[in-house]
Amino acid sequence: MKLRHQLKKYRKLFLVTILAAVMITILGAFTPTKWYYDFSSPCNVNIYVINGGLHSDLILPVKTSKFDWNHFIPLEEIGTDTNQQYQYLSFGWGEHDFFINTPTIADIRIHTVIKALFYPNNTSVMHVRGFNNLPNKKYVDIKCVRISYDNYLRLVQFIQRTFQLDNTGRVIRVANGYNAYGGFYGAIGRYSILRNCNDWTAEALRTANVNTPLWSSLSAPIMWHLRSNCNC
């Protein structure tokens, strides 16, 4: 009887813990990091976030009056199609093996998920893809947010700091992308259950003064909170 009572007590404690964790997660997903905006800030650059279901990417213009990505990542080296004149680049951060070997949700394997979330020595990569035009909203979940040049440059610097560089200061291409217009690059940072691809996206957006949820491990809350003081 005593053992049965203890097991019942532990089961109740376990269920309460799980329920509390779920409630905290939901609360964090619906709670914004910003409650007000500086409406005096100028609106200069459109940036975009694309939701792939489980993963989110940032899409930025290749060139503005303040910065040209071609000076940091040679456009002709991104994909295997070297004749493209890209107008936009997408950036996404993730765990090396999972990211490279999982182009779609159908390609997910349980062992790569477990390794990505719990293995302590994961390496990471950046996936960069070029676009001649923005993805069509009919087929993908994409949202726009407009920011100032100062905030855009902060965002650029955050992304640049995520890349691993060689001894000459150049980015390191490590694998082909999912199509002829993309590639994977060496990156810094450890991927884990506590910091995943969507957390990286949210961190990047916060540097640009864009609203994000307190809990950002899923892409859907990021898309729901996405806003700044400007309209696209």
Q: Is residue 2 domain-resident?
A: no
Q: Is residue 38 domain-resident?
A: yes
Beta bridge partners of 186: 125
pTM of the model: 0.86
Q: Is residue 12 domain-resident?
A: no
DSSP H helices in the chain: 2-30, 96-101, 110-118, 149-162, 197-207, 219-225
Q: Is residue 8 domain-resident?
A: no
Which pLDDT score, from 0 to 100, does residue 9 have? 57
Q: Is residue 9 domain-resident?
A: no
Measured torsion, CA atoms of residues 196, 197, 203, 205, in degrees rounded to the nearest 10 = -160
**What is the number of structural domains in the chain?**
1
pLDDT band (50, 70, 90) for residue 3: low
pLDDT (tens digit per residue) in 97-151: 888 877 666 556 665 666 656 666 678 999 999 999 999 988 899 999 999 999 9
Q: Which residue has the higher pLDDT, 36 or 206?
A: 206
Rounded to 5 degrees, what angle do the CA atoms 190, 191, 197 make? Answer: 130
C-alpha separations of 118 from 46, 65, 102 in Å: 36, 42, 17
Rounded to 5 degrees, what angle do the CA atoms 116, 15, 117 make? Answer: 5
Exposure string of 86-100, with b = 16+ CB inside 10 Å and e = fewer, is bebbbbbbbbbbbbb
Tokens, residue 199:
């957390």
pLDDT band (50, 70, 90) for residue 54: confident
Q: Is residue 18 domain-resident?
A: no
Q: Is residue 3 domain-resident?
A: no
Q: Which domain holds residue 177?
A: 31-225
